[in-house]
Structure 1
Amino acid sequence: MRYIAFIHKEPDSVYGVSFPDLPGCISAGDTIDEAVQHAVEALSGHVRILEADGDPVPPPRDFDAIMSDPDLEEDRQGAMTTIVPLVRDRGSTARINVSFDLGLLDAIDAAAKARKQTRSAFLASAARREIVE
């Protein structure tokens, strides 16, 4: 799932991110990239709290629905829009079977070792980064 987010920037402030479909879910960052990275974490945490409390998770609306919603007119003023993926951390892992070229696998293992990570941790962080970008 992907949610539309508004990015605002006031003079002498950081970039703020809000989600029209998830009131109260906000994030910020010194740069747009940092704000969006933090927004991924905020979105995941917000949804996790909603689910833990037994509250429904609103489905994401499409861009046209967000842009035509009269209740969001003020929020849209001066805002940039972006799409933020919902990356759920479920707290458990699953063993999977994947295939890589042996040369790529060697490069993965070397990069993981240099970062003091396991192969799985390295691949998970690389996948998360790719999904967010």
Structure 2
Amino acid sequence: MELKPTAATVKAPSSNFTGDVYLTPIHRGQLPSRMTASLVRFTPGAHTNWHRHDVGQTLHVSEGVALVGTRDGSVVHATAGQTVVCPPGEEHWHGASADAFMSHFALLEVNEDGSDPTTWLEPVGEAEYTAAQRA
């Protein structure tokens, strides 16, 4: 057993996010473990770019309302205590509503060779984000 120290919170890179987003790493497994977990905090209106994960991603909402959108225009509004599972390879985005903070735990696995499973894509359009508020 090992008690890990609390990791420092860092601001997420603006190249992959719109608005202010903060990441607190929880765990990064060492092979053979492939688990990665982070607490991600979004300020009102903040959201990710479009992206996908080779092995999928699980989002467990801990505060506020998470908006999670897919390329087909589907949007899930998940509240604290709810979990959204994004399957492998699905292009999606997630973030806070325009008027409230949102936090979620982001859980995913690195690839079998230990490489980063996330492919970052273009920003979500303002019209797409606005439409997601009403979906």
TM-score over 0.5 for the alignment? no
**TM-score with structure 1 length normalisation?**
0.22
| TM-score, length basis structure 2 | 0.22
Greater share of strand: 2
> Based on CA coordinates, which of the two structures has the bigger radius of gyration?
1
Structure with the bigger percentage of helix: 1
